[in-house]
Amino acid sequence: MQRSRWIGAGVLASTLVLTSCSSGPAGVDAKQNPKATLELWTRTTPGGPGEQGALKVATGFEKATGFKVKVTAIFDDFETKLQQRAAQKNLPDIVMNDVTQLGAMHSQGLLREIDLDKIKDSGQIVGQGLDSGKSVDGKQYGLPYSAQASALLIRKDWRQKLKLDVPRNWGDFTAMAEAFTTQDPDGDGKQNTAGLAAPLSTKRGYASWYFSNFLWAAGGDFITRTGKGTYKPAMTTKASVEAMQWFRDLGCKAKAVQPGAVTMDTPPTNESFEAGRAGMFVVGPYLLPRFDETLGKDKYEVVPMPKGPKDATVLAEGGSVYLMAGSGNQAGQDAFAGYAVSAEGQKTGMEGASGYIVQLPVNKTVDISRVRSDPRWKTYAEAYQDSGRYAPSIPNWTPVRQATADTVNALMADCGLDTEAKLGELDKQLADILKEQGIAAS
């Protein structure tokens, strides 16, 4: 989430003709030149580790296939610059961007459909990863190259001091959260600790993003698919209401969520955990290097999320390879996508203490423990493979996430609100959003 930046629902004019450097209009076969250098844009900070990782993968790809590729790293105003290039009829050939961008980029006509028969090793991609690249019409428009999923970080020293076991279910989770809040786990003689660190700000939909790990584990949902490409609101279902009430009770009754959570996005929440103000944190693997340095590797542990009323489903996210419409080197596009998801490409993307662009492998044949000896990464990889779930690839997920975040935040901020009434209001909002996007169930 903190590595993502959403874009709005705006769609380029339908008359816009999309082309790459050496191609014809989108949807029309461009004159092909397999020797042409591929232009690849990656959404990351120029000069940073993300760019280093992309360059490493590009070098491996060139050596393995003979195709040439030029990497350009862009972070600020990435989507704006991409649309400018579209307006200039000069799209890059390949884009590496967040998986959540598929719906918007497809709606704008920026992508070409991917023929999996032309993608080497596409059959080795983890099922939910492959599905994350499908649009509402069921066609493939993206391929994952990196994944991440949530696991539970626990202050190991606190848990051992209070003689608590690793939580296996929500009852255990609640008990640990309450104990960390009331039993002085840091031993300073003050009640100044909380059970759970949670970013529950409305900013960029953080409250919804975080809550999804609990909502889905309870069998609830934000929206549910009703048919091919159609959805209906689901926040008033029994499972969704019960999940919201349980999570709300952690804050309103147990007082086990860190103070000020409803105003916090991830940076201050990260600080709450590493500063010893909270004892549990549900988050992806990208914070391990930071917490190892600031908190100490011996002070905390990484464990799978405890089983909810239904299962232990957690939020999955990551980056995808997108093949842009109208490229003059479609063979090169396909080859790069194939390399990115191959065992060789995945291992290359994971190597190094920094400068890696693959968090968790999406190729079923890759054992992360053979690339990274730290067993905590394997815990995350298993969470992704066994329990990871992506947000649906609707035309624009942003307003769904924002509307649900506003409601989750309000319910956590004001304990006097009626849970079911607020969720009923939310479902009406979601119904309007789905209708606006043309995917509402009839």
- CB distance 392 to 223 below 8 Å: yes
CATH number where 93 lies: 3.40.190.10
Q: Are residues 185 and 304 in the same domain?
A: yes
Q: Kindly state whether residues 124 and 249 are assigned to the same domain.
A: no
Using the 3D structure, point to which of 389, 404, 426 is the last residue of a domain.
Answer: 389
SS3 398: helix
Query: Is 12 within a domain?
Result: no
Contact between 394 and 99 (Cβ < 8 Å) = no
Closest to 277 measured CA to CA, from 195, 178, 193, 200: 193
166 and 266 share one domain: yes
CA 243, CA 238: separation in Å to the nearest integer? 9
- Residue 192 and residue 174 share a domain: yes
Whether residue 406 sits in one domain with residue 272:
yes
Laid out side by side, the sheet with 151-155 consists of 194-197, 278-283, 151-155, 300-303
H/E element, 322: strand 314-323
Residue 27 token pair: 């949807």
For residue 126, the number of C-alpha atoms closer than 13 Å in the C-beta half-sphere is 29
268 and 372 co-located in one domain: no
Residues 178 and 279 in one domain: yes
Q: Residue 143: inside a domain, yes or no? A: yes
- Is residue 158, in this structure, part of any structural domain at all? yes
Q: Which residues are within 8 A (CB) of 216 and not within 5 positions of it... i.e. 6 or more apart?
A: 308, 310, 313, 314, 315, 389
- Domain end position, chosen among 373, 389, 405: 389
Task: Measure the CA–CA gap between 394 and 99, rounded to whole angstroms.
Answer: 12
Rounded to 5 degrees, what angle do the CA atoms 253, 259, 265 make? 120
What is the chain's pLDDT, residue by residue, as a tens digit (442 residues)? Answer: 533 333 333 333 333 434 334 333 344 468 999 999 999 999 999 999 999 999 999 999 999 999 999 999 999 999 999 999 999 989 999 999 999 999 999 999 999 999 999 999 999 999 999 999 999 989 999 999 999 999 999 999 999 999 999 999 999 999 999 999 999 999 999 999 999 999 999 999 999 999 999 999 999 999 999 988 899 999 999 999 999 999 999 999 999 999 999 999 999 999 999 999 999 999 999 999 999 999 999 999 999 999 999 999 999 999 999 999 999 999 999 999 999 999 999 999 999 888 899 999 999 999 999 999 999 999 999 999 999 999 999 999 999 999 999 999 999 999 999 999 999 999 999 999 999 999 999 8
State the residue range of the domain holding 356: 38-149+317-389
In a domain, 17, yes or no: no
- In the numeric block, which tokens belong to residue 38? 């591929």
Residue 420 in domain: yes
Q: 115 and 51 in one domain?
A: yes
25 assigned to some structural domain: no
Are 233 and 248 in the same domain? Answer: yes
φ and ψ of 303, to 5 deg = -130, 160
Residues 54 and 163 placed together within one structural domain of the fold: no
CA terminus-to-terminus distance, the chain: 32
The answer as to whether 364 is a domain residue is yes
Tell me the whole-structure pTM to 2 decimals. 0.90
Q: Are residues 291 and 430 in the same domain?
A: yes
The number of distinct structural domains making up the chain is: 2
Is the same domain home to 132 and 192?
no
Confirm whether 21 is domain-assigned: no
